[in-house]
Amino acid sequence: GQNIDQPTEMTATEGAIVQINCTYQTSGFNGLFWYQQHAGEAPTFLSYNVLDGLEEKGRFSSFLSRSKGYSYLLLKELQMKDSASYLCAVTDSNYQLIWGAGTKLIIKP
């Protein structure tokens, strides 16, 4: 079956750096998305990786290794507003999205 694994919850300190990992086993691969979802709100797009390597966008970076079935989202200079769930989703060979359950990130002062 197809599977996306992410940690359920992580805690980090304001101003620090945190890395949220995502591993996947899917039938084919056509890209990987990260979305941010604040409690009670809609998911919003953060990043998209289709080739190996690091994509940087301000304080957020996303890394992909297709050979390892692995991605991470790196958040730098954490702010309280970064407290949210982070959703990893993979596009399979049929161009369907397979979603992880999300990682709830708690930022402490």
Partner 1 sequence: IAGITQAPTSQILAAGRRMTLRCTQDMRHNAMYWYRQDLGLGLRLIHYSNTAGTTGKGEVPDGYSVSRANTDDFPLTLASAVPSQTSVYFCASSDSYREGTGELFFGEGSRLTVL
Q: Catalog residues that contact partner 1 under the rule CB under 8 A.
A: 4, 30-31, 33, 35, 40-45, 48, 87, 89-92, 95-102
For partner 1, the closer CB: 33 or 63: 33
For partner 1, the closer CB: 60 or 99: 99
For partner 1, the closer CB: 1 or 109: 1
Minimum Å distance from CB 42 to partner 1?
4
Minimum Å distance from CB 45 to partner 1?
4
3-state secondary structure the chain: CCEEECCCEEEEECCCCEEEEEEEECCCCCCEEEEEECCCCCCEEEEEECCCEEEEECCEEEEEECCCCEEEEEECCCCHHHCEEEEEEEECCCCCEEECCCEEEEEEC
Minimum Å distance from CB 15 to partner 1?
29
